[in-house]
C-alpha cells in the first residue's frame, strides 16, 4: 500500500548562529545565495570556488575564502585543512558545487561523463570523508548535498547529470543511516528550475526550447537558499525547492508513462 504524507511543520532544532559552515561552489548562484543566507543567520563561513575573483566578490563580509579545485585531492585537503586552521571545526558542510551538460548519453564522450561524476558525486563523497571524523568526535554535524529534481525524476535532456544526482541522493540516504548513532544528520536538496547561470555554464550542448520556456516558473537562488537554511534548522531529510516540484515526483511514481511521454516531448524526442 502506497502512503503519501507531508512532513509536519516543526520548530527549529538546529541553531545556525555560531556554526562553522563550509560551502562549495560559493562564487555564484545557489552557493553565493547560501553564503548570504547563512551569514545573515550568524554562521561562520568558509567559502570555496575555483574563480578567486568571483568568490571574493560574492563573499559576505567576514567570510573566509579558499580558492580550489574540488576534483583534485590536494585541493580538497587544502580547503578543509585551511578551514580547520581558521575555525577549529566544521559543523555543516554544504556540497553545492556541480556542473551539467545537455549532451545525449548515447553520444557523450566518456571523459565528460567521468568529469560530471567526479565533480557531482566523488567530490562531495571525498569532502564528507574529510570532515566526518571531526563531527564524529563531537557527536554533532550536518552534511547537506545539493542535488537536483533530476535526482528524483530523470531529465532526458540531462540524463547523465540526472544519474549523478540520483547517486548523490542515494549516498545522502545511506550516510544518514551510517552516521545516525554519531549524531550526524544528512540532507539532500533537490532544486527545480532556479534562476542562475547554470544553463550558461554547462559543459556542452544547448537547452531544448521547451525546457528553456519553462524558465518563467523558476524560483530565485535566494528563495532556494532560504529553503536550504530552513531545512538545516529543522534537520530535514529532503528539501525540494520549490515545494510544488513534489507534484512532479508524485506524478512520476503514479503515472510514469504519461510523465515520460511529456518529458520526451519537451526534449524534442517524442
pLDDT in tens, 53-99: 999 999 999 999 999 999 999 999 999 999 999 999 999 999 999 99
Mean per-residue pLDDT over the chain, rounded: 92
Per-residue CA distances from 153 to 65, 86, 157, 178, 263 (Å): 34, 40, 12, 25, 10
pLDDT in tens, 203-249: 777 777 777 776 667 899 999 999 999 999 999 999 999 999 999 99
Per-residue CA distances from 72 to 26, 107, 115, 128 (Å): 17, 26, 11, 14
Kindly name the residue from 102, 161, 166, 193 that is annotated as catalytic.
161
pLDDT in tens, 246-260: 999 999 999 999 999
User: Which residues does 101 contact at the CB level (< 8 Å), separation at least 6?
Assistant: 108, 112, 116, 158, 160, 161, 202, 203, 204, 205
Q: Note if 161 is an active site residue.
A: yes
Walk me through the domains of the chain, giving residue ranges and CATH numbers: 20-244 (3.40.50.720)
**Helix, strand or coil, per DSSP, at residue 43:** coil
Amino acid at each position: 500500500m502506497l502512503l503519501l504524507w507531508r512532513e509536519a511543520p516543526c520548530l527549529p532544532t538546529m541553531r545556525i548562529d555560531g556554526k562553522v559552515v563550509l560551502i562549495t561552489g560559493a562564487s555564484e548562484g545557489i552557493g553565493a545565495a547560501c553564503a548570504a543566507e547563512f551569514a545573515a543567520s550568524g554562521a561562520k563561513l568558509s567559502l570555496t570556488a575555483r574563480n578567486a575573483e568571483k568568490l571574493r566578490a560574492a563573499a559576505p563580509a567576514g567570510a573566509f575564502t579558499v580558492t580550489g579545485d574540488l576534483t583534485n585531492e590536494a585541493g580538497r585537503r587544502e580547503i578543509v585543512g585551511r578551514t580547520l586552521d581558521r575555525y577549529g571545526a566544521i559543523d555543516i558542510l554544504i556540497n553545492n558545487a556541480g556542473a551539467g551538460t545537455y549532451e545525449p548519453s548515447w553520444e557523450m564522450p566518456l571523459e565528460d561523463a567521468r568529469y560530471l561524476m567526479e565533480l557531482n558525486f566523488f567530490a562531495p563523497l571525498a569532502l564528507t570523508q574529510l570532515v566526518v571524523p571531526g563531527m564524529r568526535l563531537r557527536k554533532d554535524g550536518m552534511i547537506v548535498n545539493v542535488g537536483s529534481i533530476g535526482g528524483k525524476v530523470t531529465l532526458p535532456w540531462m540524463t547523465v547529470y540526472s544519474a549523478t544526482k540520483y547517486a548523490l541522493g542515494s549516498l545522502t540516504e545511506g550516510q544518514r543511516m551510517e552516521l545516525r548513532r554519531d549524531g550526524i544528520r544528512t540532507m539532500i536538496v533537490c532544486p527545480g528550475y532556479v534562476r542562475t547561470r547554470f544553463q550558461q555554464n554547462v559543459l556542452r550542448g544547448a537547452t531544448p526550447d521547451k525546457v528553456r520556456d519553462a524558465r518563467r516558473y523558476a524560483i530565485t537562488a535566494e528563495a532556494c537558499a532560504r529553503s536550504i537554511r530552513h531545512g538545516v534548522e529543522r534537520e530535514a531529510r529532503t528539501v525540494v525547492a520549490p515545494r510544488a516540484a513534489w507534484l512532479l515526483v508524485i506524478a512520476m511514481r503514479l503515472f510514469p508513462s504519461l510523465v515520460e511521454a511529456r518529458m520526451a516531448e519537451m526534449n524534442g524526442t517524442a
